Amino acid sequence: MPFKVHADREVIKICYHGNALHLSSFLSSGLKLALEDLQSELKAAQRSLELTIISNVEKPWWIIGKPDINIKYLKYDWQTFPLQIVNYDIGIVPNCYNRSANRPISYLLKKVLNMELSDSDIILRMKSKSNFGRLLVFMQAGVPAVADLTPSHLELLGNLRYGFCASNRESWLKGLRQLIYVSEKFDPVQWAQNFIEDITLIKKLTHEKDLKLSLNLN
């Protein structure tokens, strides 16, 4: 896979790749509104925003969560994908479905069960098999990314070497905004080296954890 060559440009190109079924997560996560806010900010600075969706269908039927911005669609092709992804400035990886705490239920649980709940709580739902696979693709290409709070995303983005984690409209916007103004400074070679070091460390820690578990079971 070739490395991304970062350069300042008038059109900020953002990429999502994955199954079209997950596009509705743009709404509940706050990503839809964040992208629309970002477009307004860029327009005021005589710049523009372009979102590309690379998915399993040529043009998905997308209603829920579709942001009101310029959107292009590409059908995933394993042969051309590595060459396509380096054309983008920032990757986005929404995995979770967010839901605000239900006010009546929160009140009932606090009163009856003495549970500490707030109307501002964010409830995250994700598949048990959710992983950082889509995030790794951006990292391998040297494309900085903003991803949600899937636990495996936190493992890779916790040190801010590759991008930012987000959980709502404000944090998606903050991460995207920061990457726009610093992405041209990223060194793809160093980016890849950081990636290799971290993956090696994760494998080592996982092996040690599995070995310890095996010894305890025996």
SS3 91: strand
What is the widest separation between alpha-carbon atoms in the chain? 65
Per mean pLDDT, which range of 28-37, 61-70, 95-104, 132-141 is the poorest? 95-104
Residue (of 97, 94, 159) closest to 122 by Cα position? 97
**Cα(163)–Cα(19) distance, rounded to whole angstroms?**
22
Give me the domains of the chain, ranges plus CATH numbers: 11-95+130-187 (3.40.50.2000)
Q: Which residue has the higher pLDDT, 103 or 38?
A: 38
The model's pLDDT over 68-125, given as tens digits with 9 standing for 90+, comes to: 999 999 999 999 998 999 899 899 999 877 665 455 655 555 556 555 556 566 667 7
CA separation for the pair 173, 161 (Å, rounded): 18
Report helix, strand or coil for 218.
coil
Is 40's pLDDT higher than 90? yes
Query: Cα dist. 172→143, 164, 166, 191 in Å?
Result: 16, 8, 5, 22
The tens digit of pLDDT for each residue in 136-195 reads 888 878 788 899 888 777 777 765 566 788 888 899 999 998 888 765 555 555 666 666
